[in-house]
Each structure stands twice: as structure tokens, then as C-alpha cells.
Amino acid sequence: MGYGLMFENSCEVGVFSKLTNAYCLVAIGGSESFYSTFEAELGDVIPVVKTAIGGTRIIGRLCAGNKNGLLLPHTTTDQELQHLRNSLPDQVVVQRIDERLSALGNCVACNDHVALTHTDLDKETEEMIADVLGVEVFRQTVAGNVLVGSYCAFSNRGGLVHPHTSIEDLDELSTLLQVPLVAGTINRGSEVIAAGLTVNDWTAFCGSDTTATELSVIESVFKLREAQPNAIVNEMRNSLIDSYV
């Protein structure tokens, strides 16, 4: 679990990296410390690939992927596409799609089984997502925001959503995704969850502004601690239910 990360003085880790169960993409930055943190944590398990997409460093917000595939926007150059195809494992399908909403990372949030997408996404793109990533696609909003990819981050074990999400929405999303969800913040009260946090099934990386409270919430909902997951989730749910009654 990496916390206290900074990419060139910004705590928005999820903007400059993309973490899945099969690979990790990292932006090319000025100093190597960002890359080396990921290397240290993940180096012997999954490949950590340095890349740019469309010449930009905000790769976390431009691409969407899970262990089955990776979707890239139409702004990706051929060289980058080739580089990614070469670096990633063979079972990961790398596909460039033509979509008007090219910041796929903001529009799509997915784990290995389910994906939530922007409500205005094209039909073809939806099919492509279902095809390449091998997931079930749901068009949803989170706390009234259509950019689901920004305001929620989830893995196969749990998820964190925008703090203003109502209880009903939380229940609905949780039913769809079949994972426990909690509303919370990242990076000292920031609501843009996926920008500050990048997570997979066994590890997560957060920005340096994240407070201890936020860290404990993340650790418990994504089950990154070694304690009994159910007990923690119930404990969390209890405290939540207590407060709104």
C-alpha cells in the first residue's frame, strides 16, 4: 500500500497512473521517485510500464482497463499503441477506440466484472467495452455527476464513491457492482476520488495529502488489511447506519 505519493508536487496519483490486476501504467515524469514507488511495490508481480498517451502525461484519466484489456482514446499515436502492445502481457487486449468523449478514464470505471460508464457514451463504445474488457456495462451517475470514472474508484473487493452520494444511490450501485461501497473523500477532503487514488485487488496508491482517517477508510473498504473483511464492512455499515437514523 503506497501512500504519500507525489507526482511533480501534485497529490493526484490517479491522474498520472493506471493500476489493474495485470499491469500498471505510469506517466513519464521529471523525477524517477514516482516510478520507483510503483516498481518497489509491484515490480516482481506485474509489469510497470512507462508511457504517454497522445503525448500527454494524464494517462490515468485517458485510458480505461482491467486485467482483460485496455482501451485507448483516438488521440493515442501509433507509436504509443505499439509500445503498449509490446510491453503488456499477451492476454491483455489493447484497443484504440473512436469515441467523442475521449477521456475514457473519466467516463468509465471498471473492475474485472462490471463497468460503470458515462450516460452519453456511444453504443459502439459500450459494445467495445463489453467485448474487450469482458465486463457487464451499466450507464450510471454518481452523486448526480455523469463522470463516473472520476468520482468513484472500485476494485473486485470494494469501492469508494463521491462523499455526497445518497444512501439510496449507494445501495443501488452496490447491488449493481456486487461489491461493498462507501462514500468518502481522498486527499484531505477532495471529492474527485479516482483522481487521488488508484487501486487494485491487493494494493492501492494515494496522494500525500490523504489524512489518516481517509487511509483507514480506504484500507477497510478495499480490504487491504489482513483482518476479517466482513467484520470490518459490517462495523463500517453499523457506524454509517447509526448516524443517519
119's CB contacts (< 8 A; 6+ apart) are 139, 140, 141, 146
Q: How far is the CB of 168 from other proteins (least distance, A)?
A: 5
* 234 vs 169: CA distance, rounded Å: 19
Q: How far is the CB of 34 from other proteins (least distance, A)?
A: 23
Q: How far is the CB of 202 from other proteins (least distance, A)?
A: 24
φ, ψ at 167 (rounded to 5°): -60, -40
Q: Quick one: 132 or 217, whose CB is closer to other proteins?
A: 217
Q: How far is the CB of 50 from other proteins (least distance, A)?
A: 32
Q: How far is the CB of 66 from other proteins (least distance, A)?
A: 27
Structure-block grid coordinates of residue 76: 493515442
Q: Quick one: 134 or 163, whose CB is closer to other proteins?
A: 163
Cell 448516524 sits on residue: 243
Question: Which sign does the torsion angle of CA 73, 176, 184, 121 carry?
Answer: positive
Structure-block grid coordinates of residue 103: 477521456
Q: Quick one: 167 or 227, whose CB is closer to other proteins?
A: 167
Q: Quick one: 67 or 162, whose CB is closer to other proteins?
A: 162
Q: How far is the CB of 210 from other proteins (least distance, A)?
A: 8
Q: Which residues bind other proteins (CB under 8 A)?
A: 163-170, 183-185, 188-191, 211-214, 216-217, 239-240, 242-244
Output b/e per residue, 15-25; b: 16+ Cβ within 10 A. Answer: bbbbbbbbbbb
Q: Quick one: 168 or 226, whose CB is closer to other proteins?
A: 168
CB 195 within 8 A of CB 14: yes
Q: Quick one: 49 or 240, whose CB is closer to other proteins?
A: 240
CA distances in angstroms from 33 to 13, 128, 205, listed in the order given: 13, 35, 14
